[in-house]
Amino acid sequence: MNWVAWKMLNGDRAKYMGAVFGVAFGTLLIAQQTSIFVGLMRRTANQILDVLQAEIWVMDPKVENADEIKPLAETDLYRVRGVEGVDWAVRLYKGQARVRVAGGNFRQVILMGLDDDSLVGAPILMKQGTISDLRITDGIIIDRAGYEYLWPGEEPRLGKIVDMNDRRAVVVGICESAAPFQTFPVLFTRYSRALEYVPPERNRLSFVLAQPKPGYSTQQVCDAIEEKTDLLALSRGQFMWRTVGYFMRTTGIPINFGITVALGFVVGTAIAGQTFYLFILENLRQFGALKAMGLSNGRLVVMVLIQAMVVGLVGFGIGMGMTATFFEATKNITNLRGMHVPWWVALGTAGAITVIIFFASLLSIRRVIVLEPAVVFRG
């Protein structure tokens, strides 16, 4: 009879497609919006996640995110180095600077000042130039998207000159870096040079990056640093969540996306549920005939569930396909780069669609169960 259920569904293409469309639409809204939300939230922490060479971030305990930084004192670096289990610890400057490009325009940029010796925190993926070129006096590396932002329409090439705090900087490398939350260019330079590119301040050591010795766990060393220095020491992942958590709490972004996702859920349920219910209603006489002919309620419910599941699977597939197509089509758009559908968002969407299908078929199943088989004799 499952075969009959399948045939019935295919026999009513219009309703079938309508219900599938509802599910697909719901899937698209839920998966796409959640993925963009996740991508956006991740962007708040992208400059943390991009530093792969160090496991531990040490900061002032008041720091709540990677953008609003309360600098450390120079002595803090040495105190961290003195903690047991710390293999090495280096400086990192992270702040915003203003660059002046030829023509006099000012632009805000994110400036990363890397430890002069080790260059820990340097970009991983270079498009042009090499990281060691940062040792050239005025050398800076800029991310590709930032380059496009500063020099729109120009073919990326090395040797471009900008001005920061009245000091010259030469582009010696172009890298790929994960998109920051604010779509500013990301500039990399040496720590000592970075201090010259920003207005003077008493303390300018944004973070200390540290690595545990072999044999010590990250958490162990973080705990040791916190105990010895009263500073906050977090693993990369912890710092990411601290930052993401901050933006989740303090911005309207989660609510806005939450509303859209909820809308996708409701609209998906409404369209899928309504068309599916109409499909069942229209076939009620046929279900009645099957019931009269001795098909039990249990097997009728299985038939309806199969029909609902086919609608759900096909709709989910199409919706996911549309979502993937969207991100594939937009991956070269600078503002949307790095956005994708994380597997767990796909899984969560599948869960949501299951719930949609459940609600959509609930009413239908009820109708089929209470259906009097004697109706088949009525005209």
For residues 8 and 19, which CB has a smaller minimum distance to another protein in the complex? 8
| 274: amino acid identity, one letter | Q
How near is the Cβ of 349 to another protein at its closest, in Å? 30
For residues 3 and 343, which CB has a smaller minimum distance to another protein in the complex? 3
| 85: amino acid identity, one letter | G
How near is the Cβ of 13 to another protein at its closest, in Å? 10
For residues 230 and 282, which CB has a smaller minimum distance to another protein in the complex? 282
Instruction: Decide if 148 contacts 333 (C-beta within 8 A).
Output: no
How near is the Cβ of 376 to another protein at its closest, in Å? 6
Q: Hey, how many other C-beta atoms are within 10 angstroms of the C-beta on 343?
A: 8
Cα 226 from Cα 234, distance rounded (Å): 9
For residues 203 and 296, which CB has a smaller minimum distance to another protein in the complex? 296
Cα 365 from Cα 308, distance rounded (Å): 10
For residues 289 and 350, which CB has a smaller minimum distance to another protein in the complex? 289
Phi first, then psi: give them for residue 174, nearest 5 degrees: -125, 130
How near is the Cβ of 241 to another protein at its closest, in Å? 53
Cα 78 from Cα 271, distance rounded (Å): 63
Cα 357 from Cα 264, distance rounded (Å): 14
CA dihedral 122, 125, 131, 134 (to 10 degrees): -70
For residues 10 and 182, which CB has a smaller minimum distance to another protein in the complex? 10
Rounded-to-5 percentages of helix, strand, coil across the chain: 55, 20, 25
Cα 354 from Cα 86, distance rounded (Å): 49
Cα 91 from Cα 228, distance rounded (Å): 18
For residues 9 and 23, which CB has a smaller minimum distance to another protein in the complex? 9
Binding site for another protein (CB under 8 A): 1, 3-4, 7-12, 285-286, 288-290, 292-296, 299, 372-374, 376-379
How near is the Cβ of 5 to another protein at its closest, in Å? 10
How near is the Cβ of 290 to another protein at its closest, in Å? 7
How near is the Cβ of 341 to another protein at its closest, in Å? 35
